[in-house]
Amino acid sequence: MTDDLTALRATIHGKVQGVGFRYATRRRAQELGLLGWVANGPDSTVVAHIEGPPAAVEELLAYLRRGPPSAHVTDVETEQTPVEGHEQFAIRGIPAGVFVVQEHAATTHHFDLRLEVAGVMRSWALPKGPSLDPAVKRLAVEVGDHSIAHNTFEEQGRVIVWDRGTYEQGGRVPWPEALTRGHAVFVLHGQKLHGGFALQRTRAADKPQWLLIKRRDADARPGSDIVAQRPESVLSEHTLDEVLD
Ligand code: MN
């Protein structure tokens, strides 16, 4: 079935960032039944990975050379790339929602990673917390959804907001389908956690077990221990153990 598909990486030069270019590209790609992604690239370019039937790919390229009305395209470079098997046409670099990591002194001390998905905070309990070291795989036990209102909850000696920010959904599969299938890639923009992460389900059970793994990118910090280095709350700047006045 993939025999009649082609894939291209296109770099679009000109006045193309911040003028609705990515949204317009996604709209046209979806109309043409194409898959892949579009993102802002280096040096004020827009970069698109486009895969689908050759005629439709050519049609999208013709559209990109003209650009949406508010853009001014000076050049489009293309190179052939392998078909990656995308299942959506995504805009990368656009927040999908908020995330929070709470440190929780329960019966067993742990951290809770929560990602906003479809109006709730999907949650995983991490006995050792997150890591920015790609060689470290951290157990993440899926737990019940929390409300978005709980994201700022702190209680002296029991819960602190260890990190928070926004995140982008990544990968080839759209969310929440990626979570259902057990392999979800995302990019965090927090105060302590940055860059690409993957959640990989290893055991589907009553309390499904996952691994949280930092992806190898510019934000990876091999050998680091962010939990030890930055123990403070991003809201109150107190640590979990500190007695507050
Ligand atoms: Mn908890």
Q: Where are the domains of the chain?
A: 2-91, 97-244
What does the pLDDT read at residue 242?
79
Distance from residue 126's CA to the centre of ligand 1 (Å): 9
What does the pLDDT read at residue 243?
59
Instruction: Confirm if 165 and 189 have CB atoms less than 8 A apart.
Output: yes
Task: Pick one of 3.30.70.100, 3.30.1330.40, 3.20.20.220, 3.20.10.10 as the CATH number of 2-91.
Answer: 3.30.70.100
Distance from residue 104's CA to the centre of ligand 1 (Å): 5
Task: For residues 216 and 132, give the distance between their C-alpha atoms in angstroms, rounded to a whole number.
Answer: 9
What does the pLDDT read at residue 87?
95
What does the pLDDT read at residue 18?
86
What does the pLDDT read at residue 212?
98
What does the pLDDT read at residue 56?
98
Distance from residue 175's CA to the centre of ligand 1 (Å): 24
What does the pLDDT read at residue 19?
83
- Residues tagged active-site: 22, 40
**Regarding beta strands 109-117 and 120-126, do their DSSP bridges make them parallel or antiparallel, or are they unpaired?**
antiparallel
What does the pLDDT read at residue 138?
98
Distance from residue 216's CA to the centre of ligand 1 (Å): 28
CA 110 to chain centre: 23
What does the pLDDT read at residue 68?
93
What does the pLDDT read at residue 135?
98
Q: List the strands of the sheet with 35-40, edge to edge.
A: 72-80, 6-15, 46-52, 35-40, 89-91
pTM for this model (two decimals): 0.88
Residues of the chain with pLDDT under 50: 1-2
